Structure 1
């Protein structure tokens, strides 16, 4: 029978290391032609939006989708896993925590492959729910000694920094300004819902890598056109998804100042088909939009861990 896994089950089982291994496998499979991913589809009502991401990892034996609703009352996430060979349902998994860790893990993966390996200082914009996974993953990926965090919500920032310092063993500290966050950083992360660029492109240091994780619609923009133009490499999780959703890139794409053929999928770097960073002085960028296969790969590992631990509730259906 299939299993239902709750948020509490997922929190007991999922680790950042597990998630990073999972998303790397998904990107590798995609680059090798062993995966299918369909860009996000949305159904909109005045009060509620339904979002669906679907895909398949046949080499890993799974096909499925993530569906979530967004509403003023909150967001609700479910991943549905099916056996790729038989089509039978294997699991339904609550996926708020899973999605947060997965999103962070992709940033950690990009940092692993695109940032300078000796990076010790990071700057992060955002101190919300999604930023937690982001900070955990970049601390797992690189030998960071300090993470500067800047947020509009100063009242929550201190608690965020204390919690993440304890979780990672890295000094996570509040930044007093956007400029302080950017200057002197080897790695930058943007994990916000900003509609306007977060910082001045002139503040970027040579050799910095940027993980931009918040801009997934035209109305959202965390990076200025000038900042994107300073990047020698613009990597994305998926070109079709990026050209449809990446708010940081869409203005440049529409003006012809950036072309889809210039975008490099992260999986192409992982399998060695495209060079990543080629100089310590290059500024590199990864635009993260989210893909079904990332969720499916993480959910598959959570399911295996649940089965081994005897967690979850059986769903009475074949």
Structure 2
């Protein structure tokens, strides 16, 4: 069995490659070429939880599971908020073949999926990127989205202005792009072309009146039914695209809350991002459309990423 550390993952899984891999995985999901179970979550008290995800990619060509312990408030920079493993298995012998650091896989594949959705849904001329959140996903989203749009301004909002300033300095030094910390969500989002919500907020931080016409949003922070990052009104006026319709209908908090409060109808989900990628669904039809990509995260993304690293490193060692 091969083992891939966080450093291995970061070395071999670039954003540009991962964006392509995620698009292919999402097309397969929307084409019913995958099988998966809904994410299972076991609360561990306070803000800690244990999650289990399992599934297959293709005709059982690749299958595996992700076991991860999550604490959104965890600030330990050495391990992050997600700790766990992604395990893949051999389809013939059924033996485990690879085990990879789940924190690194999750960080890169989540941001790359948002970048893939941004490429498909955001206006081509989009140049102002706002990120709500200051954690690991905020950093990775900034870098991944630079791969798909010519961004000339990055704005960072966080509950801690100090953390927002630290992150902006890090991103600006790395990319050379103007990056500014903001104290208020409303000013951070004013005239933004792309907004990514990557927070651990339990109640909405982003509201309809914060968002301009034509904006694309990646709503990422809440991965189970309960916490919400955006309000019902914003959900209701959007073209609402998801990673997995089945998953979002069962566990997508923003969608479920808006539906329960009759802000939207049951058919508000326009479709899956895999359908947009395969050109079987038109999402943005006007420059004034507000598009939302609701990302819960999916096991096929994890096992596709690990399978790619395994194949790439096999080629290196041969």
Contact 1:58 1:84 in 2 (8 A): no
In structure 1, the partner of 2:77 is none
Q: Which has the higher contact order (CA 8 A, sep 6+)?
A: 1
Determine the C-alpha separation between the residues in 1 that align with 2:194 and 2:217.
Answer: 6
Determine the C-alpha separation between the residues in 2 that align with 1:57 and 1:168.
Answer: 35
1:141 aligns with 2:140: no
- After superposition, residues 127-138 of structure 1 pair within 5 angstroms as 127-138=134-145
SS in 2 for 1:249: helix
1:276 aligns with 2:283: yes
SS in 1 for 2:307: helix
Contact 2:109 2:305 in 1 (8 A): yes
1:192 aligns with 2:183: no
1:217 deviates by 3.1
- After superposition, residues 149-160 of structure 1 pair within 5 angstroms as 149-160=156-167
- After superposition, residues 166-177 of structure 1 pair within 5 angstroms as 166-177=173-184
Indicate how the Cα distance of structure 1 residues 255 and 84 shifts in structure 2: closer, same or farther if over 3 A, else same: farther
- After superposition, residues 212-251 of structure 1 pair within 5 angstroms as 212-231=219-238, 233-251=239-257
Determine the C-alpha separation between the residues in 1 that align with 2:91 and 2:58.
Answer: 6
Contact 2:233 2:263 in 1 (8 A): no
SS in 2 for 1:220: coil
Cα deviation 1:278-312 (Å, max 9, x = unaligned):
0001111111100000111111112222323349x
- After superposition, residues 112-123 of structure 1 pair within 5 angstroms as 112-123=119-130
SS in 1 for 2:38: strand
Q: CA RMSD in A?
A: 2.0
Contact 1:191 1:213 in 2 (8 A): yes
In structure 2, the partner of 1:253 is 259
Indicate how the Cα distance of structure 1 residues 277 and 86 shifts in structure 2: closer, same or farther if over 3 A, else same: farther
In structure 2, the partner of 1:315 is none
Determine the C-alpha separation between the residues in 2 that align with 1:218 and 1:34.
Answer: 26
Determine the C-alpha separation between the residues in 2 that align with 1:138 and 1:82.
Answer: 32
1:78 aligns with 2:85: yes
Contact 2:156 2:168 in 1 (8 A): yes
Contact 2:4 2:101 in 1 (8 A): yes
1:95 deviates by 1.8
Contact 2:224 2:296 in 1 (8 A): no
In structure 2, the partner of 1:66 is 66
Contact 1:102 1:133 in 2 (8 A): no
Determine the C-alpha separation between the residues in 1 that align with 2:223 and 2:6.
Answer: 25
Q: Which runs of 5+ in 1 are unaligned?
A: 312-318
- Farther-moved stretch of structure 1 (41-50 vs 129-138): 41-50
- Farther-moved stretch of structure 1 (297-306 vs 120-129): 297-306
SS in 2 for 1:248: helix
